[in-house]
Structure 1
Amino acid sequence: MLNGIKLKEYARTNGVSSQELAEMVRIGGRTEKQALAAVKNWQNCLYKPMPTSEDIEALARGLHVSVNAISQWSSRHKYAPTSPTKARLVARLIAGRTAQDALDTLKFTPKRSAEMVRKVLETAISNADEQEADVERLYVSEARIDGAGRRIGTKGWIAKDRGRAHPIRKQASHIIVTVAEN
């Protein structure tokens, strides 16, 4: 996937305007106006329309960098059986660290959600490895935990004394980890 921040940074350092980048990604039947809008969205980290692999290769050729230099790889675990508040404590530990350092930190973190975050991080690293990225230079660019509502399979209420009912608040979360190359 395209990393919008690095795209903007490389375009500024190489002196390439958005108009020139739009000319490079006009493949696929885009008009000049659509291509310019797409490039500006990608530079602002809005991925509508979603960049294809041909778009990323064309941008890399135009900026004179490798494809991996402007790419990022992510992985997610949807409806993880842990509350978002508890999982965010673990996610804050690894954000911004190198991938190997983050794995070591998660291995020795005594939290239940650390194992789930570690598996998602390993999947993101293997996604990068499949695209022939340098695994030694990877760092965690984003570790995000989103709320997913009530955990699947839990009832909404539990019966209590004298006909009362108390709510069950077992929460689920979506774990998203993104890695990029330095």
Structure 2
Amino acid sequence: MLNVRRLNEIIDNSTFKVEDIASSLESTLGGSSKKAVKNWKNGLMKPQPKNDHIDALAQTLNVDASELKAWNATFRYAPQSARKVRLVADLIRGRHVRDAEDILKFTPKRSASMILQVLKSAVANADEEEADVETLYVAEARVDGAGRRIGTKGFIPKDRGRAHPIRKEACHIYVTVAQFTEE
């Protein structure tokens, strides 16, 4: 995955323009390279950048390819409401991975173990692609609502013939880690 924040920092601090970068990527992307680079710069991942695209982009910008990469993991349909999980996700956003793991281990909330599981998976994804695990930080920790949990449709009877719905919510947890680069 492409680290959009780092890409924008590099482009802003250099003399490169989008057209220059697109012209150097035409061999790997074809005729739609200008549109793809604009989309990536704006955070829209269409087309999804592959590893060879990121390597070519890094070579054009004269940086290491690992600076432009980010690794993510997801937990879809986690059995807790998004509102509760967001409280814990806000604690780790922007922190070093080891600090985030320590915070999650000692947070007395049910969702902390779920987020810790996703964080460890993202770190394992980065380690598999031979990233420096000691310099990783949590670039993004996002929680989206997923609606009612599967299999929890129903009503609870109330007084005078009324019925209240049973609403057990689910959420999607997304964690992205990237390498911290000092300048």
How far apart are 1:28 and its partner, in Å? Answer: 4.3
Residue of structure 2 in register with 1:2 after alignment: 2
**SS at structure 2 position matched to 1:30:** helix
Residue of structure 2 in register with 1:64 after alignment: 62
Residue of structure 1 in register with 2:133 after alignment: 135
How far apart are 1:163 and its partner, in Å? Answer: 3.0
TM-score by length of 2: 0.94
User: Partners of 2:29 and 2:129 in 1: how far apart?
Assistant: 26
How far apart are 1:24 and its partner, in Å? Answer: 2.2
- Root-mean-square deviation (CA), in Å? 1.2
Query: Is residue 2:82 matched to residue 1:79?
Result: no
After superposing on structure 2, the runs of 4+ consecutive aligned residues of structure 1 that deviate more than 4 Å are: none
User: Partners of 1:24 and 1:135 in 2: how far apart?
Assistant: 31
User: Partners of 1:90 and 1:27 in 2: how far apart?
Assistant: 44
Residue of structure 1 in register with 2:33 after alignment: 35
The residue type equivalent to 1:6 in the other structure is R
Runs of 5+ in structure 1 lacking a partner? none
- Listed as ranges, the matches of 1:78-157 within 5 Å are 78-157=76-155
**SS at structure 2 position matched to 1:90:** helix
User: Partners of 2:164 and 2:102 in 1: how far apart?
Assistant: 41
How far apart are 1:132 and its partner, in Å? Answer: 1.0
Q: Is the 8 A contact 2:28 2:53 kept in 1?
A: no
User: Partners of 1:73 and 1:67 in 2: how far apart?
Assistant: 13
How far apart are 1:5 and its partner, in Å? Answer: 1.7
Runs of 5+ in structure 2 lacking a partner? none
Q: How many aligned residue pairs are there?
A: 180
Q: Is the 8 A contact 2:153 2:167 kept in 1?
A: no
How far apart are 1:160 and its partner, in Å? Answer: 3.3
The residue type equivalent to 1:175 in the other structure is I
Q: Is the 8 A contact 1:4 1:42 kept in 2?
A: yes
The residue type equivalent to 2:116 in the other structure is R
User: Partners of 1:8 and 1:24 in 2: how far apart?
Assistant: 17
Residue of structure 1 in register with 2:168 after alignment: 170
